[in-house]
Structure 1
Amino acid sequence: MEEYFIYNERLGIELPSNDLKWDMLSDETQESVLLYWENIRGAIPDRIISLEKTINKKQAQLDNESNFQVSCQLNSEIAELASVINDLWLWFRLNQSLSEKMHQ
């Protein structure tokens, strides 16, 4: 599936390639791609839970931090993790239609 998916380091998951020409794929390949995506999509909630735990740890650190620069850094890291979570939810929901196609 390497030719159809690209690992996104920021999100920590593989995403469909921008070069994917869906209509050019055989029915069998489309089914394989959808099944592969469904497995990735199914792991997204676990990835989000892991990131939320990291955010909670950083917030606990922030509660006890008196150094302004360190507080700013922690806030920045929390904001980035929250952004990743938001993007993961978008991929999870946006591509639900792909998963529904597989079940039709």
Structure 2
Amino acid sequence: MASDFVYNERLGIELPLLQKSWEEYSPARQEGILAQWESVRGTIPDRIHSIEQIINTKQDQLSVEENFERSCTLNWEIAELASVINDLWLWYRTHQDISLKLHI
């Protein structure tokens, strides 16, 4: 089932990359895709926690930074990491209904 997922560098997780409509997959293939997604989805909260720790470190650096350019860079990095967290939560929550199919 690995061919149905592609690693996303920015998010640090594999995302579904379906080549055809869901209905075109056999029930067995659908089940495999759902199982793999559930596995990936389960890693998202840990990934978010890891990114939050990086943000906290950068915020600590920012609080004592006196160089304006470096402050701007830290702010940009924090904003980018926050955007990644937002996208991860969207994937986690939006695709929750897919995970429910595993339990039906």
Normalised by the length of structure 1, the TM-score is: 0.96
Which residue identity does 1:49 align to in structure 2?
H
The SS at the match of 1:7 is: strand
Q: Give yes or no for the alignment of 1:81 onto 2:81.
A: yes
| 1:58 CA drift (Å) | 0.2
Q: CA RMSD in A?
A: 0.9
Structure 1 unmatched runs, 5+? none
Aligned to 1:27: 27
The 8 Å contact of residues 13 and 40 in structure 1, kept in 2 or not, is answered as: yes
Instruction: Tell me how far apart the structure 2 counterparts of residues 18 and 25 of structure 1 sit (CA, whole Å).
Output: 9
Structure 1 runs (4+) greater than 2 angstroms displaced: 18-21
Which residue identity does 2:103 align to in structure 1?
H
Identity, in percent, stands at 59
Which residue identity does 2:45 align to in structure 1?
P
| 1:13 CA drift (Å) | 0.4
| 1:47 CA drift (Å) | 0.0
Aligned to 1:11: 11
Structure 2 unmatched runs, 5+? none
